Amino acid sequence: MTNLLTGKTAIITGGAGGIGRVTARVFAENGARVAVLDTAPQTAAFAAELGGGHIGVTVDVGDEAACIGAADHVAAAFGRLDILVTMAGVVNPGGITDVAHEEYERTMRSHADGTFNMCRAAIPHFRRNGSGAIVCMSSIAAERGGGLRGGVHYAAAKAAILGLARAMARELAPENIRVNAVCPGAIYTSKRSLAEMNAQLGDRIPMGRVGMPEEVAQVFLFLASDLASYVTGATLDVNGGMHIH
């Protein structure tokens, strides 16, 4: 335990599963009071697993009013809000002429709209504090035009997050609110076996293996902490060299 986030309150959307779940644990281990936001039924139970002083809130990030209510609830429960990590979203395959428009809209709503809604809900609290840190999860798909699990609509949604994060970083820097993005590559999240993923993807990755969720969570920790006090508008790749630019 390094206690990089002692005294900080953090919201993590999509925090009950996958990379979000691991990031929530890492933040809690580093002293943060964590609010896990997710639509999953196990959200509250997982937050309780983190220990006392953490909460779980069931939220659809595509609902702007629900996001505002959740941010206000967290700030009231903890007395302040310091960090927002946005990870909520869905992943489905599909080509440009194959994906249904309803699925495109659902994907954009969960990723792009959800990030937009949560940032707008959190920023007033950061302004009251005089500081804040936002870290948005994008994807290697946004940088290289898909090519992994998500379809064209997923790549578009994740690219929108990159543009939003960079624009917010420029706008909010004078207010001491930092905004950065993380682009994971192929990461093991237990939906497939690690051996299967490495066999399928390892030879496409210079480091010869897929990444572990802890390796992504540590990057979120860095960007959320004061170690990154002069870092804003950055995009950090966590892909083992799969995409170098």
Question: Is residue 167 a part of any domain in this protein?
Answer: yes
Q: Secondary structure of the chain: what % helix, strand, coil (to 5)? A: 50, 15, 35
* Choice among 68-77, 119-128, 132-141, 187-196 with the minimum mean pLDDT: 187-196
Question: Is residue 130 a part of any domain in this protein?
Answer: yes
CATH label of the domain that carries residue 202: 3.40.50.720
Residue 207 confidence class, pLDDT cut points 50, 70, 90: very high
- What pLDDT score does 205 carry? 95
Question: Is residue 244 a part of any domain in this protein?
Answer: no
Identify the sign of the CA torsion 159, 164, 165, 166. Answer: positive
- What pLDDT score does 1 carry? 52
- Report the percent of the chain where pLDDT is more than 90: 88
Q: Could you tell me which residues are beta bridge partners of residue 13? A: 37, 86
Question: Is residue 55 a part of any domain in this protein?
Answer: yes
Report how far residue 41's alpha carbon sits from residue 16's, in angstroms, rounded to the nearest whole number.
Answer: 9
| pLDDT of 148 above 80 | no
Report the chain's terminal Cα–Cα distance, integer Å: 33
Report how far residue 25's alpha carbon sits from residue 71's, in angstroms, rounded to the nearest whole number.
Answer: 20
State how far Cα 7 lies from the chain centre.
21
Question: Is residue 240 a part of any domain in this protein?
Answer: no
User: Which domain range does residue 113 map to?
Assistant: 9-234
> Which pTM does this prediction carry?
0.95
Question: Is residue 65 a part of any domain in this protein?
Answer: yes
- What pLDDT score does 192 carry? 81
Residue 189 confidence class, pLDDT cut points 50, 70, 90: confident
- What pLDDT score does 146 carry? 81
How confident is the model over 201-215, as a mean pLDDT?
95
Q: What DSSP string describes 11-62?
A: EEETTTSHHHHHHHHHHHHTT-EEEEEESSTTHHHHHHHT-TT-EEEE--TT
How many domains does the chain divide into?
A: 1
Closest CA to 85 of 172, 165, 1, 4: 165
Question: Is residue 1 a part of any domain in this protein?
Answer: no
Question: Is residue 209 a part of any domain in this protein?
Answer: yes
Report how far residue 121's alpha carbon sits from residue 156's, in angstroms, rounded to the nearest whole number.
Answer: 23
- Neighbour tally for 243: CB within 10 Å: 15
How confident is the model over 57-63, as a mean pLDDT?
96
- What pLDDT score does 153 carry? 92
- What pLDDT score does 238 carry? 97
Active-site annotation, residues:
154
